[in-house]
């Protein structure tokens, strides 16, 4: 496909600033990427790769499909209005007997639903009833009904392109055909997408039947630390925008900026803020910023010769295009290009990726296999594609590749050093995935959490430690995951922590955050009951109003605990000044050391892990000294000049979010509205 590993020295145009080295050889300095694009990355280009007036357009060939992606797919001047090649299939027509059975069941469901007295909620669910029978009897008319209702209620200005037969119309038709629209599913649909119903209660769990064995009591003795530290890289949310148009409007009124088709309505015929070559706060990652970031990582982390022990990538490769401008090819293009760049620019050591909500078409949509028939495999093209790409890059063994193909691109890898890495497709608990509104009272319709539980049980039986890697976080402020599956996930983490689960990793928010998991569903939150922690990685993309960043962990080679963590950032507000010259590109600077930033106010040994107990103690210091919340808030936005301050209720909310590992805990306990610095 492409020439392999670039010689890094040929790409370097500036040196690392001097600085004291940590125990793992981390350099707390800066690195400035070269100004000119490294043209040796690719053999062929559709445009002049040395030009600075536009982003490069390399010729990309897919090693899995053997397809060469055309320029029209990524050309900023030819953004499509609709994907006419591969819309989602419609469900099969129902038999008359099935229509009758569903009619009876739905009437019964409405009659027994205690919330039906709420008039707006009742109207919404009654409307869904009409849609259900259309979806069951004449599914080809489902998208037309969705568009007609969208236009009638003025729900969107892009009803046809957003909800027509070439967009989300078939997805919504599938969901309504299979959901209990008169009951819990319908209430949740009306609440999440239309705000017409109250939030339904979290369903009770039967954990006795869920777990094959009770939690060991006493727990197995903890593994003895080796004292040897491994370097592990955490990257997230690259969001490469191959349609980024240098010089276009970077301060557009709506949508994704730095695109030829988006303007500032205050000045539609004149560009107010030309898009810099390396990116802007309202834009996704241009090619030049992605390569600069990856170029910076090895010299900053001292891994030019050794590579990382491994890398976790917590999802989202693709830009934030509206669905009507996406296609399967656009998704596969980003997957092919970015995984290849990881392989060539980050050195040796496997990358363990998880799919993000933007790594799907339509974005955020993944159907449970339980939907049945040919609809169950409608996203298999993507699972097969990424699984074979990961195999092509020599990151996954054959067994993990087959698991990924069969489990929504989720897999388990048992490394030779004794660590198991389990990844999840978190679209299957993401609120924006319409398919999650089928059979909502059951917390694991997809089977993803059954897969996770079984893998954790195998790890416990073998005495192995586990890292869990996903994209959409399970907790924090509770705005992203569904309540029931994130509640079950919390109980799974409790059951297998701290003796099996060493760490959990998410992305999605683009911000630097974390969540603590406690015993007994957080009924007593203390240092003694803290079980596990999820690290939410900073994004490479600046979207929205953030700096670009990445993190490296120091990991004990025996326990697989994180002993220290280091975060770097590049200040996006400096990028406009780089346009007038070719010598220098973006500078990535050392932002902070986690142990030093948060552990100075209580006793914590220099080799003690940064585990859930450590982080609970940090929250106790935050309660006594709100200035530490200010520090956390600054790092949350990666030091962006646009990060707003956090005081008063905001500070209280942030501490509560850190202590919330599930959506129900966040919604029950925490003030709403302070989750993001964007």
Annotated binding residues, written as ranges, equal 237, 239, 316, 357, 471, 508, 510
Structure tokens at 333: 């293009």
Among 298, 296, 295, residue whose Cα is nearest residue 588? 296
Q: Could you give the CA distance from residue 31 to residue 49 in angstroms, rounded to a whole number?
A: 23
Cβ(464)–Cβ(419) below 8 Å: yes
Q: Are 240 and 285 a contacting pair, CB within 8 Å?
A: yes
DSSP 611: -
Ranges assigned E (strand) in 277-436: 310-313, 351-353, 412-414, 419-423
Q: CA 185 to CA 193: how far, in whole Å?
A: 12
Give the SS3 label for residue 114: helix
CA 631 to chain centre: 24
Q: Pseudo-torsion of CA 269, 272, 277, 280, nearest 10°?
A: -120
Whole-number Cα distances in Å, 573 to 31, 276, 282, 641: 17, 10, 11, 8
Distance between CA atoms of 648 and 658, rounded to whole angstroms? 16
DSSP helix/strand/coil, 342:
helix
Residue 413 · residue 354 · CB < 8 Å: no
Note the Cα 155 to chain centre separation in Å.
27
Smallest CA-to-CA distance from 351 within 300, 277, 297, 271 is with 297
Residues belonging to the binding site for Zn(2+) are 237, 239, 316, 357, 471, 508, 510
H helix count then E strand count, the chain: 18, 13
Which residue, among 267, 236, 234, has the nearest Cα to 555 in the 3D structure?
234
Element (H, E) at 109: helix 96-112
In terms of Cβ atoms closer than 10 Å to its own Cβ (0-12, 13-18, 19+), residue 137 is middle
Calpha distance 63→480 (Å, rounded): 34
Does residue 126 contact residue 149 with C-beta atoms inside 8 Å? Answer: no
As a whole number of angstroms, the distance between CA 671 and CA 361 comes to 34
Beta strands in 409-477 (DSSP E): 412-414, 419-423, 465-469
Residue among 529, 501, 532 at smallest CA distance from 515: 532
CA proximity to 51, closest of 254, 287, 233, 290: 287
The answer to whether 412 touches 403, Cβ cutoff 8 Å, is yes
How far separated are the first and last CA of the chain, in Å rounded? 39
């Amino acid at each position: 496909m492409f020439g392999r590993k670039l010689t890094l020295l040929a790409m370097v145009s500036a040196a690392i600033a001097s600085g004291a080295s940590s125990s793992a050889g981390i350099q707390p300095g800066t690195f400035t990427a070269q100004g000119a694009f490294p043209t040796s990355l690719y053999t062929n280009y559709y445009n002049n790769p040395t030009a600075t007036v536009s982003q490069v357009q390399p010729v990309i060939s897919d090693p899995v499909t053997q397809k060469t992606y055309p320029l029209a797919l990524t050309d900023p001047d030819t953004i499509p209005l609709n994907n006419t090649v591969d819309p989602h299939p419609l469900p099969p027509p129902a038999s008359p007997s099935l229509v009758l059975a569903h009619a009876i069941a739905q009437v019964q469901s409405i009659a027994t639903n205690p919330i039906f007295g709420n008039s707006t909620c009742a109207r919404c669910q009654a409307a869904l009833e009409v849609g259900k029978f259309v979806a069951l009897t004449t599914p080809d008319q489902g998208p037309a009904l969705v568009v007609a209702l969208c236009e009638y209620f003025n729900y969107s200005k892009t009803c046809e392109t957003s909800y027509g037969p070439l967009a989300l119309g078939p997805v919504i038709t599938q969901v309504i055909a299979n959901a209990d629209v008169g009951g819990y599913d319908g209430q949740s649909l009306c609440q999440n997408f239309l705000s017409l119903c109250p939030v339904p209660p979290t369903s009770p769990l039967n954990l006795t039947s869920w777990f094959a064995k009770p939690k060991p009591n006493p727990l197995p003795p903890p593994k003895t630390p080796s004292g040897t530290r491994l370097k592990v890289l955490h990257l997230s949310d690259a969001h490469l925008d191959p349609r980024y148009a240098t010089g276009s409007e970077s301060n557009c009124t709506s949508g994704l900026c730095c695109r030829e088709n988006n303007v500032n309505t205050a000045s539609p015929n004149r560009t107010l803020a030309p898009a810099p070559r390396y990116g802007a706060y309202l834009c996704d990652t241009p090619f030049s910023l992605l390569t600069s970031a990856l170029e910076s990582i090895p010299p900053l982390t001292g891994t030019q010769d050794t590579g990382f022990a491994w890398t976790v990538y917590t999802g989202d490769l693709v830009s934030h295009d509206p669905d009507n401008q996406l296609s399967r090819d656009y998704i596969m293009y980003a997957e092919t290009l970015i995984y290849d760049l990881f392989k060539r620019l980050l050195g040796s050591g496997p990358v363990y990726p998880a799919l993000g909500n933007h790594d799907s078409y339509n974005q955020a949509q993944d159907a449970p296999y339980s939907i049945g028939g040919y609809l169950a495999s409608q996203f298999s093209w993507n699972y097969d594609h990424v699984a074979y790409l990961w195999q092509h890059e020599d990151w996954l063994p054959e067994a993990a590749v087959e698991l990924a193909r069969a489990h929504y691109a989720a897999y388990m890898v048992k490394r030779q050093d004794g660590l198991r890495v389990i990844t999840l497709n978190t679209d299957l608990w993401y609120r924006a995935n319409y398919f999650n509104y089928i059979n909502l009272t059951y917390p694991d319709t997809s089977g993803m959490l059954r897969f996770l539980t079984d893998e954790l049980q195998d790890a416990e039986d073998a005495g192995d430690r586990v890292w869990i890697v996903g994209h959409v976080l399970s907790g924090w402020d509770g705005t992203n995951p569904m309540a029931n599956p994130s509640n079950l996930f919390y109980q799974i983490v409790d059951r297998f922590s701290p003796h099996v689960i060493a760490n959990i990793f998410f992305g999605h928010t683009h911000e630097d955050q974390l969540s603590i998991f406690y015993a007994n569903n957080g009924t007593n939150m203390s240092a003694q009951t803290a079980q596990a922690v999820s690290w939410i990685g900073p994004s490479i993309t600046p979207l929205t109003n953030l700096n670009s960043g990445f993190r490296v962990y120091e990991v004990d080679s025996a326990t697989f605990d994180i002993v220290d963590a280091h975060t770097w950032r590049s200040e996006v507000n400096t990028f406009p000044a780089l346009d007038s010259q070719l010598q220098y590109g973006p500078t990535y600077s050392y932002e902070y050391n986690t142990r030093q930033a948060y552990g100075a106010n209580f006793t914590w040994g220099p080799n003690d892990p940064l585990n859930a107990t450590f982080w609970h103690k940090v929250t106790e210091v935050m309660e006594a000294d709100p200035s530490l919340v200010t520090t956390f808030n600054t790092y949350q936005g990666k030091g962006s000049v646009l990060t707003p301050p956090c005081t008063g209720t905001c500070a209280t909310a942030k501490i509560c979010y850190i202590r919330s590992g599930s959506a129900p805990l966040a919604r029950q306990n925490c003030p709403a509205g302070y989750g993001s610095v964007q």
